[in-house]
Amino acid sequence: SSLISIDDIGKKYVIGAEVIHALRSVTLTINKGEFVALMGPSGSGKSTLMNILGCLDTPSKGKYILNGMDVSHMTDDELAEVRNKEIGFVFQTFNLLPRSSSLDNVAMPLVYAGVKKVEREERARKTLESVGLGDRVNHKPNELSGGQRQRVAVARALVNNPSIILADEPTGNLDTKTSIEIMALIEEIHKKGNTIILVTHEDDIAKHAHRIVRLRDGVIEDDFLNEEVRSAL
């Protein structure tokens, strides 16, 4: 069964007299457990599509069904609720709270979910352990390396057991060695059954995904299984 079902969505931005069709017509189905890389040149609509997939924005036309819910026409409050429950975000720039410990950063989505403090801390600690940061729970972001910061961000994305992890250029600010470590972590999370959508410019990063979706000028130009996956079939 499909977790994400997008049917002929479009998104236009109106700036004064100018209308920009960031997405023209995108139809896409993603099943539970898939690991998809979203690629395409700058301006092709990747961020716009990720914002819609992540319920940060709604399409101008077409239909988006996420986990059985039609989220195409929801209000901002309704979207926020769906987002907190269904989506885990990982960003290029980590987006951690600078004055808060790893534990408090990871526990943050559970505050919005109304989980009590003792349980929040227990779940945050366990999730930090699962990403290899059991010995960094009380550290603040500036006391951690880039790779460790991104691990904290991955733990924050996971702590609420979301239906999808959306990762926007998660290795964009990391050196090659650290990027490989973070991609290994994301692969491990995928193997545990999580659904992952990853935006990247780099073929070396996209090769970790099982399926590549390539956008150009607001349409899907290409949608194929990764070479390794295909040859294993």
231's tokens: 């040859």
Tell me the window of 35-43, 70-78, 104-112, 222-230 that interacts with ligand ADP (CB under 6 A).
35-43
The residues, any chain, with a CB within 8 Å of residue 131's CB and separated by 6 or more, are 151, 152, 154, 155, 158, 185
Specify whether the CB–CB gap between 83 and 51 falls below 8 A: no
The distance of closest approach from Cβ of residue 15 to ligand ADP in the complex, given in angstroms and rounded to an integer, is 6
> Should residue 75 be labelled a site residue for ligand ADP when binding is judged by CB under 6 A?
no
Specify whether the CB–CB gap between 174 and 146 falls below 8 A: yes
Tell me the window of 38-46, 126-134, 135-143, 179-187 that interacts with ligand ADP (CB under 6 A).
38-46
Instruction: Please give the residues from 151 up to 210 whose contact with ligand ADP meets the rule CB under 6 A.
Output: 168-169
Number of H helices and E strands in the chain, helices first, is 8, 10
Amino acid identity for residue 52 in this structure: I
Angstrom distance (rounded) from CA 123 to CA 109: 11
> Should residue 104 be labelled a site residue for ligand ADP when binding is judged by CB under 6 A?
no
Tell me the window of 24-32, 91-99, 144-152, 177-185 that interacts with ligand ADP (CB under 6 A).
91-99
Angstrom distance (rounded) from CA 207 to CA 227: 8
Q: 224 to each of 108, 121, 165, 191, how far by Cα in Å?
A: 36, 41, 20, 20
Of 26, 35, 40, 67, the residue at the interface with ligand ADP (CB under 6 A) is 40
> Should residue 86 be labelled a site residue for ligand ADP when binding is judged by CB under 6 A?
no
The distance of closest approach from Cβ of residue 110 to ligand ADP in the complex, given in angstroms and rounded to an integer, is 15
Of 6, 10, 48, 149, the residue at the interface with ligand ADP (CB under 6 A) is 48
Angstrom distance (rounded) from CA 10 to CA 12: 7
> Should residue 80 be labelled a site residue for ligand ADP when binding is judged by CB under 6 A?
no
> Should residue 22 be labelled a site residue for ligand ADP when binding is judged by CB under 6 A?
yes
Overall size of the chain counted in residues: 233
Binding site for ligand ADP (CB under 6 A): 13, 15, 20, 22, 40, 42-48, 51, 56, 89, 91-93, 95, 168-169
